[in-house]
Amino acid sequence: MQHSKNKKNKITCKEVMHHLCETLGEDLESPKCVEIKDHLDNCENCRNYFKTIESTIQFYKQYNVQLPEESHNKLLDFLGLKEDEDE
Amino acid sequence: MNDLELIEKAKNGDNKALTELVKRYEQTVYNFAFKICRDKERAEHTMQETFLSMIKSLHQFSGNSKFSTWLYTIVSNHCLMLARSQKVRGFTSLEDDDGIIEEKNVADWKITPDKVTENNELKKILDDAIKKLPYDYRIVFMLRDIEGFSTEETGKMTNLSIPAVKSRLHRARAFLRNELNAAFQE
């Protein structure tokens, strides 16, 4: 995530806060959310904090694993199912 | 064929439909189990137990919720059961917020989430951080932030109240962020 102090960055921070309020089930127009968004406009520290929270979520979203073929075969065997039953 | 059609056929003893249903969701279940356990053997075991439970209780699935939601509930429970059976200890206590939120000199990170799966060093940092979280916090974080379920859905799936989901989510996010922050500063 890019970081700068320009106006565009403020929009990004609002988007981050929007996400945080939304995912916490808060009303985005609630006095609390509006106050937080206003605060973020004027506080680089908090903007960075919320940006790194957002990055944390993105890191874990990007980290996925593929089911190994061996595990797939063991699963069908464990359940007593056969591959060709799907065909 | 959609999920409900497959489920109806599977309920009536159609093994071909059941196999298709398992194959449709095995990658999702395995990936989610790994994200909670952070261990491939445990993820494989959890996936097997999840589908066994699914088959045993398929007749109880009413179709009122999405099938995938129902399956996430089962796999979450199995992740918790596995953790309890192995008496995994050494988690960080998150009973209070003291020390979770930093207040001064917060910097943005230079490292970006791109290509996480190709970077073993980064993967280890992510694994080590989340392994310090209690399982119920991991599950809420994964269901809510990673899989995108609502607060209400996450509460139903984990049998937690909405305030409890919000509290766990907030603490899990802050804890993981601080762990990664410390690792990235090194």
pLDDT tens for each residue of B92-125: 666 655 445 555 677 888 887 776 767 888 999 9
Task: Confirm whether the ipTM is greater than 0.90.
Answer: no
Q: Left, alpha or beta for B116 (phi > 0: left; psi -120 to 50: alpha)?
A: alpha
**Which residue in A3, A13, A2, A21 sits closest to A41, CA to CA?**
A13
Contact between A72 and B26 (Cβ < 8 Å): yes
The larger pLDDT score, comparing residue B137 to residue A23, is at B137
DSSP-assigned states of every residue in A28-71? TTSHHHHHHHHHHHH-HHHHHHHHHHHHHHHHHHH---PPPHHH
Domain count along chain A: 1
Q: How many CB atoms lie within 10 A of CB B15?
A: 15
pLDDT above 90: percentage of residues in chain B: 68
Separation in Å, CA of B184 to nearest CA in chain A: 11
Res B27: pLDDT: 98
CA atoms of B173 and B186, how far apart (whole Å): 20
Residue A36 forms part of a structural domain: yes
Q: Show the tokens assigned to B79.
A: 């992740």
Residue % of chain B over a pLDDT of 70: 89
Domains and CATH numbers, chain B: 3-85 (1.10.1740.10), 116-185 (1.10.10.10)
CB A64 within 8 A of CB B115: no
Average pLDDT (B1-10) is 93
Model pLDDT, residue B101: 56
Mean pLDDT across chain A, nearest whole number? Answer: 77
- B119 contacts chain A (CB < 8 A): no
Residue B87 — very low, low, confident or very high, per pLDDT cuts 50/70/90?
A: low
Chains A–B, number of C-beta pairs less than 8 Å apart: 132
**In-domain check, residue A11:** yes
Owning domain of residue A36: 7-79
Q: Which pLDDT score, from 0 to 100, does residue A19 have? A: 63
Q: How confident is the model at residue B137 (pLDDT cuts 50, 70, 90)?
A: very high
Mean pLDDT estimate for chain B: 88
- The answer to whether residue B102 neighbours chain A at the CB level (below 8 Å) is yes
Q: What is the structure's pLDDT at B17?
A: 95
Choose, out of A62, A74, A76, the residue to mutate when testing the contact with B (most B CBs < 10 Å).
A62
In a domain, A73, yes or no: yes
CA distance B130 to B176: 7
Q: Worst-scoring range by mean pLDDT, A68-72, A80-84, B132-136?
A: A80-84
Asked whether the beta carbons of residue B173 and residue A57 sit closer than 8 angstroms, the reply is yes
User: Which residues of B fall within a CB distance of 8 Å from A81?
Assistant: 15, 18-19, 22
- Between CA A34 and CA B174 the distance in angstroms is 21
Predicted pLDDT of residue A41: 83
Residue A36 pLDDT > 70:
yes
**Nearest to A14, CA basis, from A45, A51, A53:** A51
CB B61 within 8 A of CB A87: no
Residue B34: name the closest of B70, B79, B1, B2 by CA: B79
Q: What percent of chain A has pLDDT over 70?
A: 69
The pLDDT value given to residue B116 = 75
At B71 the pLDDT is: 96
Contacts 24+ apart (CB under 8 A), A70-74: A71/B30, A71/B40, A71/B44, A71/B47, A72/B23, A72/B26, A74/B44, A74/B48
Cβ neighbours of B7 (radius 10 Å)? 20
Residue B62: exposure state from Cβ atoms within 10 A (0-12, 13-18, ≥19): exposed
Q: Is the pLDDT of residue A84 over 80?
A: no
Question: Is residue A1 one of the residues assigned to a domain?
Answer: no
With a cut of 50, say whether residue A7 has pLDDT above it.
no
What mean pLDDT comes out for the span A41-50? 83
Tell me the average pLDDT across A27-55.
82
Answer yes or no: is A85 within a domain.
Answer: no
CA distance B66 to B72: 10
In a 10 Å sphere around its CB, with 0-12 CB exposed, 13-18 middle and 19+ buried, how is residue B134 labelled?
A: middle
Q: What's residue B8's pLDDT? A: 93
A contact set with B (CB within 8 A): 1, 3, 23-25, 45-46, 48-49, 51-53, 55-68, 71-72, 74-76, 78-79, 81-83, 85-86
